[in-house]
Chain A
Amino acid sequence: MEKWYLMTAVVLLGLTVRWTVSLNSYSGAGKPPMFGDYEAQRHWQEITFNLPIKQWYFNSSDNNLQYWGLDYPPLTAYHSLLCAYVAQFINPDWIALHSSRGYESQAHKLFMRATVLIADLLIYIPAVVLHCCCLKEISTKKKIANALCILLYPGLILIDYGHFQIMYNSVSLGLALWGVLGVSCDWDLLGSLAFCLAVNYKQMELYHSLPFFCFLLGKCFKKGLKGKGFVLFVKLAGTVVASFTLCWLPFFTERAQALQVLRRLFPVDRGLFEDKVANIWCSVSVFLKIKDILPHHVQIIVSFCLTLLSLLPACVKLTLQPSPKGFRFTLVSCALSFFLFSFQVHEKSILLVSLPVCLVLSEIPFMSTWFLLVSTFSMLPLLLKDDLLMPSVVTTMAFFIACATSFSIFEKTSEEELRLKSFSVSVRKHLPRFTFLPRIIQHLFIISVITMVLLTLMTVTLDPPQKLPDLFSVLISTELTSANPPLLLRKTGPELTSVPIFLYFICGTPTTAWCAKRCHVRTQDSNWQTPGRQSRTYT
């Protein structure tokens, strides 16, 4: 690659931004008794280093699970252990059992930040660079621009380097990205190994598991289930089982061990959603108090069914017609389904949707940029709590500028480029004058950006927190003029942020494509049959 130096510059820029953000405060800084995610991270190092492996996930006098007990899969624990050994080498006080609780110092902060940077540098950044280099059909310049945008994505930077997320997102997302890369480049075994590691690092990666499964299954079907396909299937199954066994080996000695770990990983006894998530449950509960109406177990079932229902079409389609491009779009749509409909979603889970969206950035720049901006905005309350207003505003603006200049997103809003052609063609059959969709979308974008700016400004400038929810909601109500304002006035929140997400989802939902297909659009869309364009159906 002749432009390697530009790629190096992009990576260095990404690293610089990451490190400068990390100079800011972190979650729970100087807030006893529980502190925050930063302390959780340090506490796990303390636990894994000082206790035998059998006690890691169990409540004991040395391991109070109420105080940031380990609730991530084994790989996370191993990583903590590794960091703990380094910490022990530098300063044993950092991880001393009991006495190190709530330990904070400049040197320790530096150490923790450095561990994130190193993990990022080793796993996530190479995966992003490689992904951009492997992109086909675009110029070198676009590849570099793409890498710049992905590396500058503020959500991930702010959560990992500012807020200090419990167990580094960059590692789990990076491993997942390696998985995507491997599977797309036909190194299926390596890809599935990387993805298994990702799942074993953070159980939330299960959001991405269905597309992986369907894509690989589809590949096996394609090769013929009786010949090569079956061999591939067995190999893949072997890889998955082997990697899981390897990760869980210390916990397989006793049945109770494995069960306890599982119980820690999937705490179903928590609520349907936590306070401010831009997903469907939180939004609906503005009108309808689902939490109160439905009993707990029904909630679980309903959310499970809805999730399954929403991701089924895309997965079926992927199994029948596996292609790397379709795979990426299915990843987006599945992760989004999970985020919108599944049980007990955390606002930070939006990062799991953002990663696949980053992967389709070069294909649908306008929509992806919009989504990524909104996703960052949806974490604003969390970031404000950590005193990260300045870096979040700055990095978001930087990201927006990077996307706007490198993809000139505003020129790419035709139906063709929004991948909405088949949808609008089918609508036009019934409504011949349906030609204003791109314009509407442009306007919606502008309005949503302006609203985000205004809301940010108001959140910062208007001090009385009691006043804020009302303002939020009044704004929503002016947009959704048909809604009943008094009802909206009750509840706080970035429900607003879910509007664009819904929009994206509605536009991007495979169901639309499914319907469109049923309406025999196939015969009218001349591009339909072109290989490599199948992904059109997904958006």
Chain B
Amino acid sequence: MRIKWVECAALSVMAALSVMTGGGSWFLALALGVTLLKCLLIPTYHSTDFEVHRNWLAITHSLPISQWYYEATSEWTLDYPPFFAWFEYALSHVAKYFDQEMLNVHNLNYSSSRTLLFQRFSVIFTDALFVYAVHECCKCVDGKKACKELTEKPKFILSVLLLWNFGLLIVDHIHFQYNGFLFGLMLLSIARLFQKRHMEGAFLFAVLLHFKHIYLYVAPAYGIYLLRSYCFTANKPDGSIRWNSFSFVRLISLGLTVFLVSALSLGPFLALNQLPQVFSRLFPFKRGLCHAYWAPNFWAVYNALDKVLSVIGLNDKWFGSAVPTHSPSLGDSLGHPHLHPDCHIGPRGFLRCLILCALSSFMFGWHVHEKAILLAILPMSLLSVGKAGDASIFLILSTTGHYSLFPLLFTAPELPIKILLMLLFTIYSISSLKTLFRKEKPLFNWMETFYLLGLGPLEVFCEFVFPFTSWKLKYPFIPLLLTSVYCAVGITYAWFKLYVSVFTDPPVGKTKKQ
């Protein structure tokens, strides 16, 4: 009897294992592999964001809703939309089984080993949503190129690029943030749009907005795309809009979805009459134009010029007066100065538009954090496996964007990790995309190659040479400045190239739809 039972158990385990080793196993292996790597990263350095999230756990757990957006014991006040607060609330009910002490609002900078374990694992577990979203995205990639070799399939390459994304790994699992599942929501909503499940996509995006409002940057792309290809139900034969096909029902149902989600999120605070307070927390315009670490964007170049001029003794009045008050309105008006190129019909056009939105806001936005570059890099991975031109843009963008994240990790034990992981991702992405598009023209011209190779010496200078020079005390900001200016050049270039590609490339979707 017992032997039979053991045999049954053995057989079922065997079956489970053979599923794993069967056809679609590579995806599972990739996902599990990266999850295990994340587990290995648990003892690494974590930034103040760790304390931020611990504090939010404590706030949502121990205070009534009416206090959530008023509580200010810690300097890290709750400044994410309500859904995220609810998310922390849900987490806190698991957290109490790990360590009750972390849920005390007055326990500032508390980080016992159990707290650490809980917080790290909460990121790793919620990443399951990201893994699922990547799985869905891989379905949207058409495998028209029938290769025998697994490692040369676009699906395989895409899933590696997304699952093993360097930026996400270091920002979420070393620096500490919950971007994984948020990007999971975004990718899932993109995948749903690809699958023509527009309502679902819109719903997911609305939910996402109420998790983290930074995604407002890409909201215009969603708005225009949904209007163009969902609310207008038919096209003329040449692909242009047929004005009389407008469906009010669809528009209203979309609007209703968004409204209901917003009501669910903001309703309680509206009822408490706290909406202005919530918004003042969400959009703190009092912060500066640039974040403490400079994001490699337009303002970084501007700031660098300003600084260089002041250091070499030129009076900076002239430059200072160019943007006299550093006003948010200017930053924001510059943030979206572009008429969003009408999303070419078809989800690929939408994706392009979305990336452009993300990049433009990154370039000119107010108080942009360098982590925001992930908002462009991750969706760009989807495009990169489709066309050689996009692959080239993606590689420049991801390599420079990821390099610009280096200053986030400044401690010695993490130095090898960031360099090794960066090399791993960069070498893999460049080589695999080169292999994928080996029949087309080379991905980089000599200038781009030279630029990308320049990152190596830059890193050597910033981390291995500069600390030993006498400038270290006098000009400690030089490595940061060099990094952000150098990366700003690459990102601007990628942005420009993407912009050009939007207008010059033949719309892919048009031919596909017919």
Contacts of B431 in A (CB 8 A): 5-6
CB within 8 Å of B: which A5-37 residues: 5-6, 8-9, 12-13, 15-17, 19-21, 23-24
Q: Which positions 34-90 of chain A face chain B at CB distance < 8 Å?
A: none
Given A5-B427, A410-B21, A16 and B13 contact (CB-CB distance below 8 Å): no
Residues of B within 8 A of A15 (CB): 416, 420
Scoring B residues 427 to 449 as 1 if CB is less than 8 Å from chain A, else 0, what string do you get?
11011100100000000000000
| Interchain CB contact under 8 A, B40 and A20 | yes
Give Cα distance in the complex from A199 to B247, angstroms: 81
B273 part of interface (Cβ distance < 8 Å): no
A20→B41 contact, CB < 8 A: yes
Which of chain A's residues have a CB closer than 8 A to the CB of B32? 397, 401
A-contacting residues, B5-56, CB 8 Å: 6-7, 9-10, 13-14, 17-18, 20-21, 25-26, 29, 32-33, 36-37, 39-44
Known: A110-B412, A117-B416, A447-B6. A411 touches B21 (CB 8 A): yes
Q: Flag whether A450 is at the interface (Cβ < 8 A).
A: yes
Q: Mark A394-417, 1 if CB is under 8 A from B, else 0.
A: 110110011011001111000000
A254-290 contacts to B (CB < 8 Å): none
Does any Cβ of B come within 8 Å of A237's Cβ? no
A48 to chain B, nearest CB (A): 26
Q: A433 → chain B, closest Cβ, in Å?
A: 18
Complex interface bits, B472-488 against A, C-beta within 8 A gives 1, otherwise 0: 00000000000000000
Asked whether B408 is an interface residue with its Cβ less than 8 Å from the other chain, the reply is no
CB contacts (< 8 Å) of B424 on chain A: these are 9, 12-13, 16
Q: Which residues of A contact B506 (CB under 8 A)?
A: none
- Interface status of B276 (Cβ within 8 A of chain A): no
- For residue A141, CB closer than 8 A to chain B, the reply is yes
A391 within 8 A of B: yes
| B36 and A446 contact, CB distance less than 8 A | no
Pairwise interchain contact A17-B18, C-beta atoms closer than 8 A: no
On whether the beta carbons of B417 and A20 are closer than 8 Å, the reply is: yes
How many Å from the CB of A18 to the closest CB on chain B? 9
- When distances are taken between beta carbons in the complex, the residues of chain B under 8 Å from A408 are 21
- In Å, the complex CA distance between A405 and B26 comes to 7
Is B324 an interface residue, CB under 8 A from the partner? no
Given that A405-B20, A446-B10 are contacting pairs, would A19 and B33 also be in contact in the complex, using a CB cutoff of 8 Å? no
Bound-state CA distance A17–B149 (Å) is: 27
| Residue A442 is within 8 A (CB to CB) of chain B in the complex | yes
Do B21 and A8 touch across chains, with their CB atoms under 8 A apart?
no
- A443 touches B (CB below 8 Å): yes
Q: Distance in Å from the Cβ of B206 to the closest Cβ of chain A? A: 37
Tally of B interface residues using CB under 8 Å: 40
Q: How far is the CA of A222 from the CA of B43 in the complex (A)?
A: 56
Taking a contact as CB atoms under 8 Å apart, the answer to whether B420 and A16 are in contact is yes
B121 smallest CB distance to A (angstroms): 11
Q: Is A458 in the interface zone, CB < 8 Å from B?
A: no
Q: Are B14 and A442 in touch, CB under 8 angstroms?
A: yes
Asked if A390 is an interface residue, CB under 8 A from chain B, the answer is yes
B151 sits at the interface (CB 8 A):
yes
Kindly state the separation between the CA atoms of A281 and B14 in the bound complex, as whole angstroms. Answer: 33
Partner of A19, one of B18, B416, B427: B416
A427 CB to nearest B CB, Å: 22
Contacts of B432 in A (CB 8 A): 5
Q: Are A8 and B427 in contact (CB under 8 A)?
A: yes
For A398, the closest partner residue in chain B by CB is: B36
Closest to A406 in B: B29
- Asked whether A17 and B40 contact (CB < 8 A) given A12-B423, A110-B413, the answer is yes
> Please, which residues of chain A bring their CB within 8 A of the CB of B123?
none
**B421 located at the interface, meaning its Cβ lies under 8 Å from any Cβ of chain A in the complex:** yes
Give the chain B neighbours of A16 by CB distance below 8 A. 37, 417, 420-421, 424
Contacts of A395 in B (CB 8 A): 36, 40
When distances are taken between beta carbons in the complex, the residues of chain B under 8 Å from A410 are 14, 17-18, 21
Closest A residue to B424 using CB positions: A12
Cα-based distance from A13 to B305 in the complex (angstroms)? 39
Residue picked from A20, A397, A450, most chain B C-beta under 10 Å: A20
Chain A contacts for B416, CB-based, 8 A: 15, 19, 117
Mask of A480-522 contacts with B, CB within 8 angstroms, 1/0:
0000000000000000000000000000000000000000000
* Docked complex Cα distance between A21 and B420 (Å): 14
Beta-carbon contact of B427 and A450 below 8 Å? no
Bound form: Cα–Cα A401–B20 in Å: 9
Taking the closest CB of chain B, its distance from the CB of A134, in whole angstroms, is: 22
How far is A394 from B210 in the complex, measured between Cα atoms in Å?
Answer: 35
Whether A409 and B420, one on each chain, are in contact in the complex, defined by CB atoms closer than 8 angstroms, is no
Given contacts A397-B36, A405-B26, A410-B14, contact A9 B427 (CB under 8 A): yes
Given A9-B424, A409-B21, A442-B14, are A401 and B40 also a contact pair (CB < 8 Å)?
no
A23-B14 contact in complex given A16-B420, A394-B36, A405-B21, C-beta closer than 8 Å:
no
The residues in B between 137 and 168 inclusive whose CB is less than 8 angstroms from any CB of A are 149-151
Min CB distance A407 to B, Å, is 9
- Return B424 CB to nearest CB of chain A, in Å: 4
Contacts of A13 in B (CB 8 A): 424
Please indicate the chain A residues that have their CB under 8 angstroms from the CB of B435 in the complex: 5
| Least CB distance, A486 to chain B, in whole angstroms | 20
Chain B residues with CB below 8 A from A117, complex form: 416
Which residue of chain A has its CB nearest to the CB of B414?
Answer: A23
B150 to chain A, nearest CB (A): 8
**Nearest opposing residue in chain A for B22, CB measure:** A408
Look across to chain B and name the residue whose beta carbon is closest to the beta carbon of A405. B29
Q: Which of A23, A394, A447 contacts B10 (CB 8 A)?
A: A447
Contacting residue for B37 out of A9, A20, A110, A442, CB 8 A: A20
Please, which residues of chain A bring their CB within 8 A of the CB of B39? 390, 394
When distances are taken between beta carbons in the complex, the residues of chain A under 8 Å from B14 are 410, 442, 446
Nearest-Cβ distance from residue A255 to partner chain B, whole angstroms: 47
Checking A23, A397, A447, A450 against B43 with a beta-carbon cut-off of 8 angstroms, the contacting residue is: A23
CA distance A316 to B319 in the complex (A): 86
Is there contact, CB below 8 Å, between B417 and A19? yes
Q: Could you tell me if B420 and A390 are in contact, using CB atoms closer than 8 angstroms?
A: no
CB distance from A389 to the nearest CB of B (A): 12
Tell me which residues across on chain A come within 8 A of B33, comparing CB atoms: 398, 401-402
Q: Chain B's nearest CB lies how many Å from the CB of A108? A: 12
Contact between A404 and B421, CB atoms less than 8 A apart: no
Q: Which single residue of chain B is at the shortest CB-CB distance from A22? A: B413
A446 to B41, CA, bound (A): 30
Q: Which of B278-331 contact A (CB under 8 A)?
A: none
A5: nearest chain-B partner, CB-CB: B431
Task: List A residues 199-243 near B (Cβ within 8 Å).
Answer: none
Residues facing B in A437-475 (CB within 8 A) are 442-443, 446-447, 449-450
The minimal Cβ–Cβ distance linking B417 to chain A, given in whole angstroms, is 6
Cα distance A15–B428 when bound, in Å? 15
Minimum distance in angstroms from A408 CB to a CB of chain B:
4
- Check if B29 sits within 8 Å of A12, measured CB to CB: no
Q: Which residues of A contact B6 (CB under 8 A)?
A: 443, 447
Whether A9 pairs with B428 at a CB distance below 8 angstroms is yes
Which residue from chain A places its CB closest to the CB of B12 in the assembled complex?
A446
Whether B36 contacts A19 by the Cβ 8 Å rule is no
Name the A residues within 8 Å of B412 (CB-CB).
107, 110
Give chain A residues whose Cβ lies under 8 Å from the Cβ of B430: 5
Given A16-B37, A17-B40, A19-B416, also A5-B29 (CB < 8 A): no
Contacting pair A23 B44 (CB below 8 A): yes
Q: A23-B44, A390-B42 provided; 11 other pairs, C-beta below 8 A?
A: A5-B428, A6-B428, A20-B43, A20-B417, A24-B43, A394-B39, A398-B37, A405-B21, A410-B14, A443-B6, A446-B14
Identify 5 residue pairs between A and B in the complex whose beta-carbon atoms are under 8 Å apart, listed by A's number: A20-B37, A394-B40, A404-B21, A405-B26, A443-B6
Please name the 8 residue pairs, one residue from A and one from B, whose CB atoms are nearest each other, closest first: A5-B431, A20-B40, A12-B424, A405-B29, A446-B10, A408-B21, A16-B420, A398-B36
A contact residues vs B (CB 8 Å cutoff):
3, 5-6, 8-9, 12-13, 15-17, 19-21, 23-24, 106-107, 110, 117, 141, 390-391, 394-395, 397-398, 401-402, 404-405, 408-411, 442-443, 446-447, 449-450
